[in-house]
C-alpha cells in the first residue's frame, strides 16, 4: 500500500513550445549533449520519489522513446525499479488539464505530489529538497515556488497577505497599479497532497480567452476554502525559469557548461579558456590533462591523465589514453591509446584504433583501421579499412585504395614495414613483415616479408626535348 510519506512527482512535458519555432519537442532540445528533460528527471530523482510521471503530448512518442532509451540518471543507483512512468495529454487544454492527465496513473497514491516542468533544466535536487522541507515545516495545504527574475515580463505575481502567506496569483495582464510593483513571480511549481491536488483541479474552469484549464487557479480555489498557501522563494532565480525560446536555451546551456567545467577544474583538469571550451554532460577527463581553447568533447568521450587536447579539436564518443596529444583535429568513435600524437589537421573517423605511441600527423585521415604500436603516418595520407602492425612507417601521400565501386576491401600491413611516399595500395593486399614499398608505387599484389616492391614506370630522360619543341613552335 502507498505510504502517507510517499512522494510522486509529475513533470509536465506535453507543450508545443511554439516560441522555439521548431517541429521537435521542446523538452528534447539538447543541452550539453542530453535532452533538457533529462536534467529535470535527475533533479526529481534526487528526492527519492516513489513515482515520476512525465506527462507527454506534442511529439509524445519522440519524448517517450528518447527518455526510455537515452536517459542515464546522474545517480543510477537512486532510481527505483519502475519509478518512471508516462501519461498522455492527447489535447492541449492547459497546465491544469495536463496534471489531471496523470490522475489515472496516480489514483492509488496518497502521499505528496510535486509538480514540475520539463523545460527547467537548471533545477537541482537541493532546491527541490529545500522546497519539500519548507512545505512540511510550514504545515501548509499547498505550497508553490516563487522567484525574483531580472525582468518580470509576463510572469504571474505572488500576492501575499499580512501573515506572509500567499493570497492569490495575479497574471501580468490583470495587475492593478498597486500590484504592478510586486517583484515576486510565480514559478508554477507546486507541492500538496496527491488527493488534494486532484480535488482542487476538479474545480478549475476554462472560462478564459484560451479556453484552457490553468494550474495557477488552484491557489485561489485553495484560499477560497480557507486553506494555507505558502511560497518558497527560490535562492537561484535562474534555476526555476523555463526555457521558452532559443535564446533562453543558449543561456541555460551556458550555465550547465560552466558547472561542468568548474567540476572538472576542481578535479585536477586544466581548462585553459572556459569561454571557448565545450564539454558535454557525462564526458570524463582525468587529472593533469590540459584542455586548450576551442575544444569540443562530446558524447561518451573519456580522456586519460596527462593529455593535451586542443586547441581547435573535436572528440566525439571516443577514448583517449594517458599522455596523448591531439591538436587541431577531429576524432570520432575511435580508441586512442597511450602516448599517441594526432595532428595538426588530422581526421580520425569511426572505428579506428591507434595503439600506444602511434603518430598521425598533419592532413591525414584514418578510418576503420588499426594502427599498431609506434606506427607513424606523419602527413598527407588516407588509411581506410586497414590493419597496420607495429613500427610501420607510412610515407607522405600513401593511400589504401579500399573501394572498388561496389565493396570495401581490407589492406594488411605487417610489423616493421616501410611504405614509401605516394604509394597506392590496392586492396585487398598484404604487405609482409619488414617489407619495403618503393615511393611512387601502385601495389596490386601481396608483398612477401623482407621484400622490396617497385611498381612504377622506369624514368626516361630526353635531353634537348624542350629546345626541339620550341623550335617547332616558331
CB of 465 within 8 A of CB of 448?
no
Helices first, then strands: H and E counts in the chain:
8, 39
Going by C-alpha positions, the residue among 263, 4, 211, 275 that lies closest to residue 113 is 4
Rounded Cα–Cα distance for residues 205 and 186 (Å): 20
In angstroms and rounded to an integer, the radius of gyration of the C-alpha atoms of the chain is: 31
- Burial of residue 468 (CB within 10 Å: 0-12, 13-18, 19+) is exposed
379 among known catalytic residues: yes
d(CA 399, CA 385): 11
Dmax (CA) for the chain in angstroms is 112
- The three cell numbers of residue 206 are 476554462
Coil, helix or strand at residue 303: strand
Whether residue 269 has a cis bond before it, omega within 30° of 0: no
Between helices 36-45 and 246-266, what is the axis angle to 10°? Answer: 60
C-alpha cell recorded at residue 347: 581526421
Q: What is the DSSP string of 227-280?
A: --EEEEEPS-GGGG----SHHHHHHHHHHHHHHHHHHHHHTT-EES-GGGEEE-
In whole angstroms, give the CA distance from residue 418 to residue 429.
15
Residue 331, helix vs strand vs coil:
strand
Tell how strand 34-35 and strand 51-56 pair up: unpaired
Query: Catalytic: which of 97, 379, 380, 409?
Result: 379
Rounded to 10 degrees, the C-alpha dihedral 417/423/428/430 comes to -20
Which residues are CB-neighbours of 143 under 8 A, at least 6 positions away?
A: 131, 134, 135, 190, 191, 192, 229, 230, 231, 232
Residue among 256, 222, 226 at smallest CA distance from 239: 256
Active site residue ranges: 379
Amino acid at each position: 500500500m502507498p505510504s502517507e510519506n510517499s512522494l510522486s512527482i509529475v513533470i509536465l512535458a506535453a507543450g508545443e513550445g511554439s516560441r522555439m519555432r521548431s517541429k521537435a519537442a521542446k523538452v528534447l532540445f539538447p543541452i550539453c549533449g542530453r535532452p533538457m528533460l533529462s536534467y529535470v528527471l535527475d533533479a526529481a530523482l534526487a528526492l527519492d520519489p516513489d513515482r515520476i510521471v512525465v506527462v507527454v503530448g506534442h511529439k509524445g512518442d519522440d519524448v517517450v522513446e528518447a527518455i526510455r532509451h537515452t536517459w542515464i540518471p546522474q545517480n543510477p543507483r537512486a532510481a527505483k525499479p519502475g519509478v518512471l512512468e508516462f501519461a498522455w495529454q492527447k489535447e492541449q487544454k492547459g497546465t491544469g488539464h495536463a496534471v489531471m492527465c496523470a490522475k489515472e496513473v496516480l489514483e492509488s497514491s496518497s502521499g505528496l505530489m510535486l509538480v514540475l516542468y520539463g523545460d527547467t533544466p537548471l533545477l537541482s535536487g537541493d532546491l527541490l529538497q529545500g522546497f519539500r522541507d519548507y512545505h512540511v515545516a510550514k504545515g501548509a495545504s499547498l505550497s508553490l515556488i516563487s522567484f525574483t527574475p531580472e525582468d518580470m515580463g509576463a510572469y504571474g505575481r505572488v500576492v501575499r497577505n499580512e501573515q506572509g502567506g500567499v493570497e492569490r496569483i495575479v497574471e501580468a495582464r490583470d495587475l492593478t497599479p498597486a500590484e504592478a510593483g510586486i517583484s515576486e513571480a510565480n514559478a508554477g511549481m507546486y507541492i500538496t497532497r496527491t488527493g488534494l491536488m486532484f480535488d482542487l483541479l476538479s474545480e478549475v474552469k476554462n472560462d478564459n480567452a484560451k479556453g484552457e484549464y490553468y494550474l495557477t487557479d488552484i491557489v485561489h480555489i485553495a484560499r477560497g476554502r480557507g486553506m494555507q498557501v505558502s511560497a518558497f522563494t527560490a535562492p537561484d532565480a535562474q534555476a526555476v525559469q523555463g526555457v521558452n525560446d532559443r535564446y533562453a536555451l543558449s543561456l541555460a546551456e551556458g550555465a550547465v557548461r560552466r558547472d561542468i567545467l568548474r567540476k572538472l577544474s576542481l578535479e585536477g583538469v586544466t581548462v585553459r579558456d572556459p569561454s571557448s571550451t565545450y564539454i558535454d554532460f557525462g564526458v570524463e577527463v582525468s587529472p593533469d590533462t590540459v584542455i586548450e581553447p576551442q575544444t569540443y568533447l562530446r558524447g561518451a568521450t573519456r580522456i586519460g591523465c596527462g593529455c593535451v587536447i586542443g586547441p581547435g579539436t573535436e572528440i566525439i564518443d571516443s577514448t583517449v589514453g594517458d599522455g596523448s596529444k591531439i591538436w587541431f583535429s577531429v576524432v570520432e568513435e575511435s580508441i586512442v591509446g597511450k602516448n599517441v600524437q594526432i595532428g595538426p589537421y588530422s581526421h580520425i573517423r569511426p572505428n579506428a584504433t591507434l595503439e600506444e605511441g602511434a603518430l598521425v600527423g598533419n592532413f591525414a585521415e584514418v578510418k576503420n583501421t588499426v594502427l599498431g604500436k609506434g606506427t607513424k603516418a606523419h602527413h598527407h595520407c588516407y588509411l581506410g579499412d586497414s590493419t597496420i602492425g607495429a613500427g610501420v612507417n607510412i610515407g607522405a601521400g600513401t593511400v589504401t585504395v579500399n573501394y572498388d565501386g561496389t565493396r570495401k576491401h581490407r589492406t594488411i600491413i605487417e610489423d616493421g614495414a616501410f611504405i614509401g611516399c605516394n604509394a597506392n595500395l590496392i586492396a585487398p593486399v598484404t604487405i609482409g613483415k619488414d617489407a619495403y614499398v618503393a615511393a611512387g608505387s601502385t601495389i596490386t599484389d601481396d608483398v612477401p616479408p623482407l621484400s622490396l616492391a617497385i611498381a612504377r614506370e622506369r624514368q626516361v630522360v630526353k635531353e634537348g626535348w624542350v629546345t626541339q619543341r620550341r623550335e617547332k613552335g616558331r
